[in-house]
Amino acid sequence: MRLGQDPELDDLRRRVRELCTDSAPRRPHKAGVRAPEASEIPALRKWTAELYGRQLLGVNWPVEYGGLPDPHPRHEAVVSEELAKAGAPMPVGGGLLAASAIIDFGTEEQKTFYLPRIRSGEHIWCQLFSEPGAGSDLAGLHTRARREGDHYVVDGQKVWTTNGHHADWGYLLARTDADAPKHKGITAFAINMKSPGVQVRPLREITGTADFNEIFLDGVKVPVENVIGEENKGWMVTTSSLARERSSAGGGVTLFRALDDLVDLVSSTTRDDARLIDRGEVRCEVGRLAAAVQVNALLSAYGESRAVAGTGDAADAALSKVFFGEINLALAEYGMSVQAGDSIRVEGDPAAHADGWWQDAFLYARAFTIAGGTNEVLRNLVAERGLGLPR
């Protein structure tokens, strides 16, 4: 299948652009996936309701919960692209991931309660998957949930939880059968983040911001009706969520934006009274990076095309994520290197190029090679599932 021009998508792009111009909350231009400040949350809740209310997101949901009867296969990818181009935010938190699990595996009561509140922005969700010592090896998690009558008691620790300090609800994975094989004894839950025993600690990163959190769960009671799917079958619930997280339609947009700024940087920077862009070795490196950015866009489109045509596999999103992370890091490293001594200048320094954006991007870029599954683990996934190589 080819992803060509489509009048329906052209109209969709126009609608998203107009909405962004009129209503999108303005956020600081930072690299990566950055958590908002508490003061931004009310506006982001309202923005979430706007995106869903205009049926820009959630179009693949059941019609009775706000979806469209026959949405275009590329609808949400196009919306993500246009939001990224406009610098407008997606809904804060993991509501899309949680909604996917609830729609595919949840009860009618869960759908009726959670889905409208995700659409309205009333509920912000976080993803409680990763743990100390079991990040990319998700099935190696140690958080326990034991059944006691009409509820489970959960004990454990989660880490690298984006927006956990803003979340109302958490999409939790916990081990409910310690004797089962790693992938068999896991259960998915919806957990109220205001429950007694839930402690959230923001993690201050090298960027100076706190985008992630560690979550401590000490005797937290979770009602039985909050199980998503069946007990001990949480791995099945989880796999689709991970595939969604590892593929991002807006990722290519951010690379093209960084490439444009890199060209501006080398064009405006001089050494020995000559512009860097006039040096052959600089032009070669910028050209190499530009080619990689273009290949990333084609690879992403190829994976999306296969998914739309029903011919994709688990390796597509993993390969795209690995490629994006490596190119993003290479761009940030080169953007820093051409600044030489000025690379120590940061945000607020009048002499910093783009107000220190490159410095912030460099500090954050390594996270993209780790978050959502480390590139090393995802390469194994590509080798085993995509190429059929032995473990």
Q: Mean pLDDT, to the nearest integer, of 213-235?
A: 96
In three-state secondary structure terms, 27 is: coil
Whether residue 197 has pLDDT greater than 70: yes
Q: Which residues contact 51 (CB under 8 A, 6 or more apart)?
A: 57, 79, 91
Whether residue 100 has pLDDT greater than 70: yes
pLDDT at 242: 65
Using pLDDT thresholds of 50, 70 and 90, give the confidence band for residue 309: confident
In three-state secondary structure terms, 117 is: helix
pLDDT at 111: 97
Using pLDDT thresholds of 50, 70 and 90, give the confidence band for residue 166: very high
Q: Mean pLDDT, to the nearest integer, of 20-46?
A: 89
326 a catalytic residue = no
Closest-CA residue to 95 (of 132, 70, 66): 66
* Furthest CA-CA distance within the chain: 77
pTM flag (> 0.95)? no
Q: How far apart are CA 324 and CA 369, in angstroms?
A: 9
Q: Mean pLDDT, to the nearest integer, of 358-366?
A: 91
Helical spans, DSSP H, in the chain: 7-23, 41-53, 75-86, 95-105, 108-120, 234-246, 251-268, 280-309, 314-337, 357-365, 375-381
pLDDT at 245: 54
Average pLDDT, the chain: 90
Give percent helix, percent strand, percent coil of the chain, each to the nearest 5: 50, 15, 35
Closest-CA residue to 97 (of 41, 172, 26): 172
pLDDT at 8: 85
Q: How far apart are CA 243 and CA 368, in angstroms?
A: 15
Q: Give percent above pLDDT 70 in the chain.
A: 95
Catalytic residue among 76, 82, 245, 304: 245
